[in-house]
């Protein structure tokens, strides 16, 4: 049985109330706020039955309304980067806000992580809805979005639905930063990861996919068998992982990633219907943010597993389609499954 309770989390500068929803099962407790659909707290058990909060975040609403690296939030209208912030749909060129080097990232200046959603309690969870106006952050068409979080036993299920009245790119994800040792831990060196993907997308120096779809075989991107995160980052000779892995299926539920933290026994497994997953090792955290309970978050102190469409797909026709047309429904689901070993 999952209990769902709610309270007021805070107020936005205009006076609008932000609500917080607590979903609790035998083994998992999660808190989600109506601002940005942000997961502010996620507690799971270690092998001795002790709960710890395993996601990075802030103690209050101000932390989330300030600029921050998308802790826990739903990202849209298009997660990850669009090259030079431009694309063409139905013969018309669109220009988005440039907010990451020469590119547009994570929905623009005020993406779905920075808007107030309308919540509704549903069985085992909460459903948030938002209408993104035609032209909002430069995107075409009015888009209605529904994001539903449900907790069933040890599975946190995120379902994303959207409908548009004009053709538009859509790519929704959740940007939680996990550390299975607990959110105050200074690194995640003792985590093991595997990602079930034969291919990944190499990127240029502005982090845009080059367009090649490279095999992981014989490279340091090969995560098909579990590897220690710290030693794999060291081998990579890059800032860390920040790459899209190309999953085998699209629109079909598949297990795509597994992270194991031996000292606590915590395991996170990810399933999704989406065609890709961004493995990001928090390369741009630098310890300057004041996190929950006074925590500081240095570089490589967490990891993100952002299930998604492939970055810059709107400009790369060899990548799986991300255009949603009038009359169609975007419907994708990701499962975060927590266990111990
Ligand atoms: C991107 C990173 C970026 C981070 C925070 C991730 O999805 O891949 O490059 O730094 O989000 O914006």
Among protein residues, the one whose CA lies closest to atom 12 of ligand 1: 69
Q: Could you tell me if the CB of 241 is within 6 A of ligand 1?
A: no
Residue range 3-340 forms a domain whose CATH class is mainly beta
d(CA 33, CA 9): 7
User: What distance in angstroms lies between residue 27's CA and the mean position of ligand 1's atoms?
Assistant: 30
User: What distance in angstroms lies between residue 280's CA and the mean position of ligand 1's atoms?
Assistant: 7
Predicted local distance difference test score (pLDDT) of residue 222: 98
**Residue of 31, 136, 137, 306 with catalytic role:** 306
Predicted local distance difference test score (pLDDT) of residue 112: 99
pLDDT tens per residue across span 41-76: 999 999 999 999 999 999 999 999 999 999 999 999
191 annotated active-site: no
pLDDT tens per residue across span 303-312: 999 999 999 9
The per-residue DSSP string of 307-325 comes to EESPTTGGG-TTSPP-EE-
Please count the CA atoms within 13 angstroms of the CA of 117 that sit on its side-chain side.
Answer: 30
Q: Where are the domains of the chain?
A: 3-340
50 annotated active-site: no
Q: Which DSSP state fits 137?
A: G
The answer to whether 190 touches 261, Cβ cutoff 8 Å, is yes
Number of H helices, E strands in the chain: 2, 27
Predicted local distance difference test score (pLDDT) of residue 251: 80
Residues of the chain with pLDDT under 50: none
d(CA 252, CA 272): 8
Among protein residues, the one whose CA lies closest to atom 8 of ligand 1: 242
Which of 173, 290, 285, 183 is CA-nearest to residue 239?
285
For the chain, the straight-line distance linking the first and the last C-alpha, in angstroms and rounded, comes to: 23
Please count the CA atoms within 13 angstroms of the CA of 13 that sit on its side-chain side.
Answer: 6
The answer to whether 203 touches 210, Cβ cutoff 8 Å, is yes
- Burial environment of residue 339 by CB neighbours within 10 A (0 to 12, 13 to 18, 19 or more): middle
Whether the predicted model's global pTM rises above the 0.95 cut: yes
pLDDT tens per residue across span 207-255: 999 999 999 999 999 999 999 999 999 999 889 999 999 998 878 899 9
d(CA 313, CA 78): 10
User: What distance in angstroms lies between residue 218's CA and the mean position of ligand 1's atoms?
Assistant: 26
Predicted local distance difference test score (pLDDT) of residue 238: 87
Q: Could you tell me if the CB of 51 is within 6 A of ligand 1?
A: no
Among protein residues, the one whose CA lies closest to atom 10 of ligand 1: 284
The per-residue DSSP string of 269-295 comes to EEEESSSEEEEE--TT--S-SB-GGG-
Among protein residues, the one whose CA lies closest to atom 7 of ligand 1: 80
Which of 158, 202, 204, 170 is CA-nearest to residue 334?
158
Predicted local distance difference test score (pLDDT) of residue 176: 99
């Amino acid at each position: 049985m999952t209990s769902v309770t709610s309270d007021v989390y805070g107020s936005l500068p205009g006076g609008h109330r932000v609500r917080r929803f607590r979903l609790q099962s035998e083994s998992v407790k999660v808190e989600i706020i109506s601002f940005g659909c942000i997961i502010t707290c996620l507690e799971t058990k270690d092998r001795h039955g002790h709960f710890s909060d395993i996601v990075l975040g802030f103690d209050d609403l101000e932390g989330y309304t300030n600029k921050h690296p998308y802790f826990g939030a739903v990202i849209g209208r298009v997660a990850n980067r669009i090259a030079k912030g431009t694309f063409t749909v139905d013969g018309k060129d669109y220009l988005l806000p440039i907010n990451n080097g020469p590119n547009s990232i994570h929905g623009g200046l005020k993406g779905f992580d920075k808007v107030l959603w309308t919540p509704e309690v549903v069985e085992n969870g909460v459903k948030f809805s938002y209408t993104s106006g035609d032209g909002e952050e430069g995107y075409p068409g009015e888009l209605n979005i529904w994001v539903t979080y449900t907790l069933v036993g040890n599975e946190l299920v995120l379902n994303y639905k959207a409908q548009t009245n004009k053709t538009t790119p859509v790519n929704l994800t959740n940007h939680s930063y996990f550390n299975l040792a607990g959110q105050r831990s200074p690194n995640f060196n003792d985590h093991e990861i595997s990602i079930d993907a034969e291919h990944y997308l190499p990127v240029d120096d502005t982090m845009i996919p080059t367009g090649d779809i490279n095999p992981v075989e014989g490279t340091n991107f090969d995560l098909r068998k579990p590897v220690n995160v710290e030693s794999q980052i060291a081998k990579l000779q890059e800032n860390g992982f920040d790459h899209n892995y190309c999953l085998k299926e699209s629109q079909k539920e598949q297990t795509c990633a597994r992270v194991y933290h031996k000292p606590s026994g915590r395991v996170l497994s990810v399933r999704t219907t989406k065609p890709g997953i961004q493995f990001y090792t928090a390369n741009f955290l630098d310890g300057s943010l004041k996190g929950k309970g006074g925590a500081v978050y240095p570089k490589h102190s967490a990891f993100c597993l952002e299930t998604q469409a492939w970055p810059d797909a709107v400009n790369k026709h060899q990548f799986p389609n991300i255009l949603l047309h009038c009359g169609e429904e975007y419907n994708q689901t990701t499962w975060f499954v927590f266990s111990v070993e």
